[in-house]
């Protein structure tokens, strides 16, 4: 199984709204394993399908507590309490931006590791990671959560980095 290539800012797939997975079969399980392998090799804590060019609603995360592979994840509840913390993104290399997100979320989706539909209550880094990856499934990037001026600066820095390293 070969590592998948990360799609970077500017690739149209990152702005697409992902489609619900209708059937969870061996190909979906294999794809999630490929996503995990890629995420670990790139030293990320999360990865969404569009980041490797696929438009299915699949995410993988591991904040150090073991991998979670979720199909058709949806955030069904968010706490009103929010915090601003730094985030990075494999598709936006060189950027670390302070993003305001809910401190706690409840996520619903099909957990491949348990082979069943689950609800997960998450807080802290896991809640942040879920929100970040599920944003990707809607074509939303972390730069969309900052002020217009910060967004312009971030895009300029990102384009310079991508050009310099010919990514």
Domain boundaries, the chain: 12-164
Does the pLDDT of residue 144 top 70, yes or no? Answer: yes
Superfamily of 12-164 according to CATH: Peptide deformylase (3.90.45.10)
The mean pLDDT value of the chain amounts to 95
pLDDT for 41 equals: 95
pLDDT class of 80 with cuts at 50, 70, 90 = very high
d(CA 78, CA 110): 19
Cβ contact 9:155 at 8 Å: yes
Mean pLDDT of 126-150: 98
Average pLDDT, integer, range 48-52: 98
Q: What is the pLDDT of residue 2?
A: 59
Q: Which percentage of the chain shows pLDDT scores above 90?
A: 94
21 neighbors 56 (Cβ within 8 angstroms):
yes
**Distance separating alpha carbons of residues 12 and 54, to the nearest angstrom:** 11
pLDDT tens digits, residue range 84-137? Answer: 999 999 999 999 999 999 999 999 999 999 999 999 999 999 999 999 999 999
* Residue 113 among the catalytic residues: no
């Amino acid at each position: 199984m070969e590592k998948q290539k990360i799609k970077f800012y500017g690739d149209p797939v990152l702005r697409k709204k992902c489609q619900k997975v209708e059937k969870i079969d061996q190909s979906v399980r294999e794809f999630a394993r490929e996503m995990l392998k890629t995420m670990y090799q790139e030293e990320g804590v999360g990865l969404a399908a569009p980041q490797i060019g696929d438009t299915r609603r699949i995410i993988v995360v591991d904040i150090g507590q073991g991998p979670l592979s979720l199909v058709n994840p949806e955030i069904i509840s968010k706490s009103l309490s929010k915090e601003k913390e730094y985030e990075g993104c494999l598709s936006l290399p060189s950027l670390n931006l302070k993003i305001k997100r809910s401190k706690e979320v409840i996520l619903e989706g099909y957990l491949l590791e348990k082979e069943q539909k689950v609800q997960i209550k998450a807080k802290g880094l896991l809640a942040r990671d879920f929100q970040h990856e599920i944003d990707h499934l809607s074509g939303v990037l972390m730069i969309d959560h900052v002020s217009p001026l910060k967004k312009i600066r971030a895009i300029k820095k990102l384009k310079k980095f991508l050009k310099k390293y010919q990514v």
